[in-house]
């Protein structure tokens, strides 16, 4: 159902693009139509192949389709703004509108490409009476290592994390994506990322799409301890609890699974909850001090920012859920689909958790 709605929306966007282009040109164009139809069908083919486990066959069409999805959305959004202006200034020429759409849309596209490849570091400082000595932690999320990512960018991510020198490294889901047999070079690079108290990860929905067990095995080979509805205590200093993405456990009791995550954890330990999705459940607030999440990418391409906030009631960055209980929602370290970021820069987040006196 969701896929059908998504395809219908994409068809409307592409039809609108064709209408905008032909209006600006003053005539129909079989070449423009053929390009748009080819790119749209590449996107549809990629979606269907991924959901029928034909991941290897989808590699080429996914590059075309997903990048076209980003390009099409940017240009259609700009065209919609120009059409809205024409309601108030009807004498604006359609040819001028087309030039404006191309110039502004093209500029946003180029900016989005550069923004997606930058590495932004966010520093967050917190205090807690549960902490005896300072602990540092670096969060990566939503790298989506697969057919649209590059080894050179991951190399920069690994270098940046190691330069930060955290005590703990965590990945909050969607580390691997796509055709998993191609992941070996990424695994070798991730092995170079190190922290004295270890590396920890939880699954995201895209690990499930790619093949959950295989994706988690690659995660372990990369040096991460995978938390699957369980917790771990490190040197009596801090505790981590990790829950699997609900995509992997559709028909199981989610309340019981959440309880299992925090089983036998002392309330006196500072507890960090790794949950790929930024779900906010008040009944869990007494069980953790800091929830780290991803999934939304901060919208990735404006105005999806608005939709992600409506869907999860959470904004990117740090939010106080209750006294001394926080959620940090990462915008993600990588990008899904089109390698574009507009008003949602990718990030690596470095936390310093300091001791404080009550």
- Are 203 and 338 within one domain? yes
Q: Average pLDDT, stretch 258-284?
A: 86
Residue 37's pLDDT band, with cuts at 50, 70 and 90, is very high
pLDDT of residue 165: 96
Query: Are residue 94 and residue 243 in the same domain, yes or no?
Result: no
pLDDT of 340 > 80? The answer is: yes
Q: What number is the average pLDDT over the span 54-61?
A: 72
105 and 64 in one domain? yes
| 143 and 110 share one domain | no
Examine the fold and report which residue of 116, 143, 172 is the final residue of a domain before the chain moves on. 116
Mean pLDDT of 300-321: 82
Give me the pLDDT at residue 328, please: 97
225 and 270 assigned to the same domain: yes
Model confidence at 251: pLDDT above 60: no
Last residue of a domain, one of 116, 151, 184: 116
Closest CA to 231 of 258, 193, 204, 256: 258
Q: What is the CATH number of the domain that holds 288?
A: 3.60.21.10
Contact 299, 332 (CB under 8 A): no
Tell me the three state secondary structure of residue 149. coil
Residue 131 tokens read as 């902490």
Domain that holds residue 104: 2-116
Query: Ranked by mean pLDDT, which of 187-191, 279-283, 339-343 comes out on top?
Result: 187-191
pLDDT of residue 147: 64
> What is the mean pLDDT of the segment spanning 283-295?
89
Q: Are residues 346 and 290 in the same domain?
A: yes
pLDDT value, residue 261: 82
**Nearest by Cα to 122 from 343, 345, 306, 312:** 345
Query: Last residue of a domain, which of 93, 116, 139?
Result: 116
User: How large is the average pLDDT for residues 330-342?
Assistant: 91
pLDDT, tens digit (0-9, with 9 covering 90-100), for 66-92 = 889 999 999 999 999 998 888 888 788
- 104 lies in the same domain as 129: no
pLDDT of residue 79: 92
* Mean pLDDT along residues 147-154: 84
Peptide bond before 303: cis, by omega within 30 degrees of 0? yes
Instruction: Kindly state the average pLDDT of the residues 109-117.
Output: 93
Q: What is the mean pLDDT of the chain?
A: 88
Residue 36: predicted pLDDT: 94
d(CA 52, CA 16): 30
Ordered DSSP codes for 212-258: HHHHHHHHHHTTEEE-SSEEEEETTTEEEEEE--GGG-TTS-HHHHH
Q: Is the pLDDT of residue 252 over 70?
A: no
Considering the domain architecture, whether residues 130 and 112 belong to the same structural domain is answered as no
Identify whether residues 46 and 152 lie together within a single domain: no
Answer for the pair 303, 79: CB distance below 8 angstroms, yes or no.
Answer: no
Q: What pTM value is reported for the model?
A: 0.90
Same domain, 314 and 251: yes
Residue 107: pLDDT over 80: yes
Confidence of residue 166 (pLDDT cuts 50, 70, 90): very high
Number of domains forming the structure of the chain: 2
| 175 shares a domain with 31 | no
What pLDDT does 262 receive? 86
> Rounded distance, CA 125 to CA 102, Å?
43
- Mean pLDDT is lowest, of 168-172, 197-201, 259-263, 271-275, for 259-263
Q: Is the pLDDT of residue 286 over 90?
A: no
β-bridge partners, 292: 274, 328
Q: Within this chain, do residues 303 and 229 fall inside the same structural domain, yes or no?
A: yes
């Amino acid at each position: 159902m969701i896929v059908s709605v998504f395809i219908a929306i994409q068809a409307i966007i592409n039809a609108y693009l064709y209408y905008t282009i032909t209006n600006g040109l003053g005539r129909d164009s079989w070449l423009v139509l053929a390009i748009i139809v080819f790119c749209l069908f590449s996107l549809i083919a990629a979606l269907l192949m991924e959901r029928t486990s034909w991941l290897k066959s989808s590699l080429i069409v996914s590059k075309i389709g997903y990048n076209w999805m980003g390009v099409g959305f940017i240009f259609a959004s700009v065209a919609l703004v120009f059409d809205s202006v024409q309601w108030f200034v009807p004498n604006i020429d359609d040819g001028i509108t087309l030039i404006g759409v191309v110039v502004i849309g093209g500029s946003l596209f180029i900016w989005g490409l550069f923004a997606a490849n930058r590495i932004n570091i966010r520093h967050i400082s917190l205090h807690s009476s549960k902490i005896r000595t300072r602990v540092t932690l670096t969060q990566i999320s939503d790298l989506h290592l697969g057919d649209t990512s590059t080894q050179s960018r991951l190399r920069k991510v690994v270098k940046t994390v190691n330069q930060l020198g955290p005590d703990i490294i965590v990945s909050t889901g969607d580390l691997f994506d796509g055709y998993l047999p191609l992941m070996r070079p990424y695994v070798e690079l991730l092995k170079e990322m190190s922290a004295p108290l270890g590396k920890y990860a939880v699954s995201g929905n895209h690990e499930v799409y790619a093949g959950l067990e295989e994706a988690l095995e690659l995660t372990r080979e990369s040096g991460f301890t995978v938390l699957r509805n369980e917790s771990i205590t490190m040197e009596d200093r801090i505790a981590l609890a990790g829950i699997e993405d609900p995509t992997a456990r559709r028909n199981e009791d989610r309340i019981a699974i959440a309880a299992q995550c925090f089983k036998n954890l002392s309330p006196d330990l500072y507890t960090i909850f790794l949950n790929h999705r930024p779900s906010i459940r008040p009944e869990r607030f007494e069980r953790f001090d800091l929830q780290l999440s991803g999934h939304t990418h901060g919208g990735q391409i404006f105005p999806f920012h608005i939709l992600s906030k409506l869907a999860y009631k959470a904004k990117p960055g740090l939010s106080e859920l209750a006294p001394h209980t926080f959620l940090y929602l990462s915008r993600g370290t990588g990008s899904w689909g089109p390698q574009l970021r507009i008003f949602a820069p990718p990030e690596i987040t470095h936390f310093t958790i300091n001791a404080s006196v009550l």
